[in-house]
Amino acid sequence: MTLPLIPLATVRHHHLARHRLCETPTGAGKGQDLHQLMQDLTFVQLDSISTVARAHHMILHARRTNYRPKALDKLMSDRLAFEHWTHDASVIDMDNFGHWKLKFARDAVTLKSRYKNWRRDGYEEKFNAVLKRIADHGPCCSSDVGADEKKGSGGWWDWHPSKTALEYLWRSGKLSVSHRQGFRKFYDLTERVIPQPHLSTQYLPEETIAHTCTTALDCLGFATAGEIAAFWDIITPAEAKQWCADELAAGQLIEVELETAQGKPRRSFARPCVLEVPLMEPTKRIRILSPFDPALRDRKRTERLFGFYYRIEVFVPEAKRQYGYYVFPVLEGDRLIGRIDMKADRARGVMAVRAFWPEAGLRMGSGRVKALTTAIERTARLSAVTDMEFAPDWIR
């Protein structure tokens, strides 16, 4: 049977619309407006690097120019979102908490196996002491526990046993992140952090499988079973594959072929009504994105959709890097038009722009340069710097 072939432009527009990158980024960027945005995105990835601004702030700012970091702090303190692990540490809309119980149970098993190889022994013996310390004295961070334990010499990931116990108890659901100071996590008992309605909600595994697959497909528009499983990283690829098969048999899914930038069509699943949804034409505004933006997190998907090779080559010697370690993708309309290397020098109050590399064949006329400069100005305001400084010949 010949499958419907979806043009690449249509696939891109669906992808950007579902990631809230088609519309003009107006709106309050706080309160109910921010909560709705979080519900639509389902989660944003956290990252400690603040070359310009932390990843989660850049993600939200790309969709709401008025957004400022305190607005997410308020959302978290109001318990409308919680912090946990998807494919990485993330802020997640609170409505998903009940489904995280399956992840807690699975992580409790898998992390014990992993920690035997990754961490030093003795962390399980610290569980009761850590829980009692938090129960008696309130939220704590890793520096509040294990004062008498030998610190590791193996680098940042060589945790002392009580730090490992804190992280394990968080990943397995006994503890939750109550707040952060800077980027330091403070843990409390889960029952003192998560609102009771979410805390008491229970789902069967098959309900969580259905929820995670449905929300993943809603956010992606078109996806393979593997992409659906990887979206939340709660269920297995086999579970996602079976869900797709069941939904396909029930007429709730269809198979389609997607045009790609490389020319080879890719078979994916979609809802039968997907092409009936009216699409908004993407705004031409230029946006500087975080490397961890949810629209880009799947690097292979980014290459198929945009013909844009974007990977952070951590272990490649500097001499072999084409762009440097940490550069930011630049989106214009439905195109990724280049990469920009810039850094917020907060001591001087300056956004230092080192280089912009346009994609091959892109013409940098005066109008586009002005639009890019305006985008840099917006990002500078998020970074709380007031001036911009451009290196000579910064457009490469």
Q: Quick one: what percent of the chain has pLDDT higher than 90?
A: 78
SS3 category, 359: coil
Q: Quote the mean pLDDT of the chain.
A: 91
The answer, yes or no, to whether residue 164 has pLDDT greater than 70, is: yes
What number of residues does the chain have?
A: 396
Which region holds residue 32: left if phi is over 0, alpha if psi is between -120 and 50, else beta?
alpha
Q: Which pair of tokens denotes residue 124?
A: 């399980």
306, 335 contact by CB (below 8 A): yes
Tens-place pLDDT, residues 59-68: 999 999 999 9
Is residue 8 scored above 70 in pLDDT? yes
> pLDDT by residue (tens digit) across 106-158?
999 998 877 766 556 667 888 899 999 999 999 999 888 866 666 655 444 45
Inside any domain, residue 355: yes
Q: 123: domain range?
A: 119-194
User: Which residue blocks in the chain are alpha helix, DSSP H?
Assistant: 8-18, 31-41, 55-61, 69-77, 100-118, 127-137, 161-171, 196-200, 205-220, 225-232, 237-249, 299-306, 366-382
Q: Judge contact between 25 and 63, C-beta under 8 A.
A: yes
Distance separating alpha carbons of residues 221 and 201, to the nearest angstrom: 28
| pLDDT greater than 80 at residue 311 | no
Task: Please give the Cα distance from 270 to 29 (Å, whole number).
Answer: 31
User: How confident is the model at residue 202, as a pLDDT?
Assistant: 94
The answer to whether residue 231 is domain-embedded is: no
* End position of a domain, from candidates 167, 194, 221: 194
Q: H or E segment at 255?
A: strand 254-258
Q: What is the pLDDT of residue 119?
A: 56
Q: Which residue has the tokens 């992280």?
A: 167
C-alpha span between 386 and 350 (Å, rounded): 6
Q: Give the count of domains, the chain.
A: 2
**What is the rounded CA–CA span in Å between residue 363 and residue 353?**
19
pLDDT band at 161 (very low <50, low <70, confident <90, very high): confident
383 contacts 344 by C-beta, under 8 angstroms: yes
- Rounded to whole angstroms, the Cα distance separating 309 from 53 reads 23
* Res 155: pLDDT: 46
Please provide residue 123's backbone torsions phi and psi, each rounded to the nearest 5 degrees. Answer: -70, -35
Under the banding of pLDDT at 50, 70 and 90, the label for residue 277 is confident
The rounded distance, in Å, linking the Cα atoms of 209 and 195 is 23
Domain of residue 183, CATH code: 1.10.10
Q: How far apart are CA 252 and CA 267, in angstroms?
A: 17
Q: Output the CA–CA distances (angstroms, integers) from residue 228 to 61, 149, 163, 231, in the order listed.
A: 26, 42, 32, 5
Name the domain boundary from 134, 163, 194.
194
Q: Is the per-residue pLDDT at 247 higher than 90?
A: yes
Identity of the amino acid at 304? R
Residue 214 has pLDDT above 50, yes or no: yes
> Is residue 174 a part of any domain in this protein?
yes
Q: What is the pTM of this model?
A: 0.92
Is 98 strand, coil or helix?
helix
**Which residues contact residue 195 at a Cβ distance below 8 angstroms, ignoring those fewer than 6 apart?**
79, 94
Say if 36 falls within a structural domain: no
Please list, in sequence order, all residues whose beta carbon lies within 8 angstroms of the beta carbon of residue 339, skipping any fewer than 6 positions away: 310, 323, 327, 328, 329, 330, 356, 357
Domain membership flag for residue 87: no
Q: Is residue 333 part of a domain?
A: yes
Q: How many CB atoms lie within 10 A of CB 262?
A: 10
3-state secondary structure of 257: strand
Q: Would you tell me how many other CB atoms lie within 10 Å of the CB of residue 220?
A: 22
SS3 label, residue 342? strand
Does a structural domain hold residue 332?
Answer: yes
Query: Which of 164, 194, 224 is the last residue before a domain boundary?
Result: 194
- Tens of pLDDT, residue by residue over 361-377, are 999 999 999 999 999 99
In a domain, 294, yes or no: yes
Any bridge partners for residue 338, and if so which?
A: 330, 358
Which of 16-30, 158-172, 190-204, 225-239 comes out lowest in average pLDDT? 158-172
